[in-house]
Structures are given as C-alpha cells and as structure tokens.
Amino acid sequence: MCCAVAAQACGTARPVERPVAEDGCIVVAEPVVSDTIALALDGVVDPAHAPVPATLAERSVFGHVYEPLIRVDCQGRVRPGLATTWQREDGGRRWVFVLRADAAFADGIPLTASAVAASWRLDEQHRPRPWADSVGGSVVVLGERELSVRLDRPHASVPAVFAHPGLAVARPSPDGSPWPVGTGAYTVTEVSHDRVVAVPRGAMERDALPTLVVTATGDDARDLVDAGFDLLVTRDPAVSAYALAAGSARSVPLPWNVVYVLAVPAEPGDPGGLATIRVREDFTAAAVGAAARTPDGTFWWEGADCVPPTVAASSGSDRAGRIVYRRGDRTARGVAQRLVALAASGRLRAALPSGGAGPRPAATGLDAARYDVALRDGADLGYVVALDRTVLDPCVAIRSITEAAPWPARLVPLVETRAQLVVRRLSGAVAVDWDGAPLLAISGREP
C-alpha cells in the first residue's frame, strides 16, 4: 500500500507545489561543464526491484535507465515517451500506440511492439497491480512499432497511467546482470552494493548528459556528504542542513510527495470506502525527522469513483494495543511515537478505534515482511502508512490499499513530507517528474 501506484494526472488532484523554475518542471539548471555528476541518494538502490522502484532513491536511478510509453510532467501534462503518438478508439476501451522510430534498448537492439508486450508480462509480481495484469493480458501487437491495449471500460486516467514506472519497458540482461536492459538515456555499467555508475547510452545523450555516479546508503546519510557529492536527495532536514553547512551548496525543496496516514479499523458510523478523519495535531519536522507540514486539501482517495470491497471488521475488543510502523522508516517511527504520546494525552480519541477506549497504545516497529502481514491481519490498534501524495489512477491506488489491508479502514492524514535536493555542482538541468522524483533533464525530452 505504501508503494501505492499509479495514476491520476497532477491536475486533477491537489496541485503540485511547483518549485521555482522558469521552465515548468525544471527546478535547477546549470550549463553543461562536466562529464560526471556524483548523485548521492538517502536510501538503498536494489537492482532486484528494477524497473519498478520501491523508494525515492530507486526512482531517481531507474527513471534514468527505463522509459514508459508516455511521460507525465509535474503539471500533469502528457508528453511522448517511447510512443510518439497514441490514439483512443472504441470509446476509450482501446488505445493504439506507435513507438518512436529510433527507440532501442541500451545494447542497440531496436525496440519493437513485441518487446513492449513481453516487457509488460515480465516479472509480474513487481509490476503495479491490478493494472499491469490487465494491460499485459490485453496487449495486441499490430506491427513492428504499433500495438494496442484493450481495457474493460474507459478510464479517465488513460493514457496518463502509461507513464507509471511499473509500465516501463525492460528486457532481461543477456549477460546475467541483475539490471534489466532499458531504453532510457542511461545504461548501468558498474554496480556495487552502494555505488552505481550510469553512462549516457548514445552519442546524442553523451553530448547532452554527464555520467552519473550514484552513491546510496540506508544508514547515516551524512556519510554521503562527507564522501563528496554534486547532487544530494534526502528527506532528512538534518542531512540537508549538514550538507549546507559544508558550504558551496544550495537546497531546493522537492514537491510534497508523501503523506503519512494512520490507518485504523472503520467505526460503525463511518461512510463506505476509505473514510477520512481529520485531526489537527502538530507533527513537527523535529518530531518526524523530515520536512513536514500539516496535511491540507483533499486527497486522491477521497471521493474516488471506486468503492473498495466490504469485508467484515474484526472485533475491537481483542485488538492489540499497538500502533505499527515499518521499521527503517524514520519518519513513520516518529509519527507512531508521537501518536502514542498524543493518545496517552487523550488528544486522538476521535481518530482511534472506539474513541481510544482500548488498551494503552504502544509504538511497534516491524520489518517489511512482518509489517505487511500485520497490516493484512488488521488486528492492531492502528498502522502508520506512507502513501504517495500524487497518483496517476486513484482507483488503482485504492485497489492496492484494499489488497494490502483487506479490512474496512479509515485513514487519518497526519503529516506530509518532501525531500530536499541539495545542489553543490550541476552540469545540466534537473526536473521533477509527476511524482516529484528528480531526474536529469534531457534536452528535447525533459518531462
């Protein structure tokens, strides 16, 4: 659920706070003066996830290596990607895409419609569900570079949803490398547990783009600063402050792209779907360890035209008094602990099951696997869940939520967070994608 996917154009959801940039989504730009950029990412990059990212760090790397059929920029505008044109047929039940003529994999093999279809059927457990399943099963190859996708019904989010990273095109590496071969501007040439080297794959890209030397860490991100960087992406204000304190750097805030919610069992009087309860409690940046603000506006799950299936709620009397968070997510831990403190003071009665009359809550961190199991069981007092602030398709995202937590739930938005882009030296431009991920802008193909 926390990796909730897909797709609704930015314009239909809460407007993305646009970074100061004259060219739309370009947040920072410098002349191309160097052929290498050191990109430091606060998080881990696991090639096993490619091409579907699980973290912002992976998104910042995979976005350079893999391409979807189309692109959606930070303002929700649909742009060509691997497909140069797309056509709506049969009242929106059938979409026909024509691939770019020069599209090819990084190893030089031309991209064909069959390769796109094969890619969508590849490694399905990592693809966004249930959309990818439907798309993968309905694709029809019409020609060398032409394919069609049939849908069960017209979707308002099409074609924007084809910009989801989960539908990026990839092919298994012929040399056994864990990195699938992509069609993006970059190709990975060197990999170690905390270092990835990606080079521009073609002559045109080499002229316009520098080589990316990516370092990532899941531990103390200040080590990245000490090791030297040109660009740093982090959610921790202490890390960005440390980087800025080193001098010769500036910080660029990225869009508010994650909202932490408290998921609790629905109460008998709640409306159907994902009921949303508002609380006005202060989750300061100091408390949650990230740039934070109080949630405002509406969210994509509110008023969505898709009702999650109703499942009987478990009894509240036997519910464990735990507020569970995913271990390793420092912001989630801070949120959970603040929730426990507020619950002890009686200030969260409206948000907690049975008006907080149950056992005294305790914050409990679980590893990813156990967290997923606990969330599925729904036997705890509540769960701290990180949701994307922007999605391409609310119904797909809601389905993902209800699959991860198959019980009637209410969501209590608690705090929104965003990452910081710390720039020390830049050769070229950085633009934010529809989900707020920072990517190097390629001339003529920027998001």
Distance of alpha carbon 387 from alpha carbon 367, whole angstroms = 18
Give the residue ranges of DSSP H helices in 193-257.
Answer: 203-208, 222-227, 237-245
The DSSP annotation for 424-446 comes to: S--SEEEEEBTTS-EEEPPTTT-
Which CB sits closer to another protein, 284 or 310? 284
Angle between helix 113-121 and helix 131-138 axes, rounded to 10 deg: 140
For 151, the 3-state DSSP assignment is: coil
Which CB sits closer to another protein, 168 or 363? 363
Angle between helix 368-377 and helix 394-404 axes, rounded to 10 deg: 90
Which CB sits closer to another protein, 380 or 446? 380
Smallest separation (angstroms) from another protein to the CB of 286: 4
Tell me the CB-side half-sphere exposure of residue 47, using CA atoms within 13 A. Answer: 22
Smallest separation (angstroms) from another protein to the CB of 362: 5
Which CB sits closer to another protein, 75 or 294? 294
Which CB sits closer to another protein, 129 or 330? 330
Smallest separation (angstroms) from another protein to the CB of 247: 20
Smallest separation (angstroms) from another protein to the CB of 343: 9
Backbone angles phi, psi at 237, to 5 degrees: -60, -30
Q: Among 136, 129, 159, 165, which residue's Cα sits nearest to residue 49?
A: 165
Smallest separation (angstroms) from another protein to the CB of 342: 8
Which CB sits closer to another protein, 415 or 426? 415
Smallest separation (angstroms) from another protein to the CB of 340: 5
Q: Indicate the DSSP class of residue 32.
A: -
Residue 308 near residue 263, CB atoms below 8 Å: no
Residues near another protein (CB under 8 A) are: 237-238, 282, 284-287, 334, 336-338, 340-342, 344-346, 360, 362-364
Q: Among 234, 229, 236, 235, which residue's Cα sits nearest to residue 214?
A: 229
Residue 381 near residue 233, CB atoms below 8 Å: no
Backbone angles phi, psi at 234, to 5 degrees: -150, 150
Which CB sits closer to another protein, 180 or 295? 295
The DSSP annotation for 121-145 comes to: HTTGGGSPTTHHHHHHHHEEE-SSS
Which CB sits closer to another protein, 230 or 236? 236
Cα 50–chain centre separation: 13
Which CB sits closer to another protein, 164 or 235? 235
For 350, the 3-state DSSP assignment is: coil
Smallest separation (angstroms) from another protein to the CB of 384: 12
Smallest separation (angstroms) from another protein to the CB of 335: 8
Smallest separation (angstroms) from another protein to the CB of 281: 10
Q: Indicate the DSSP class of residue 205.
A: H
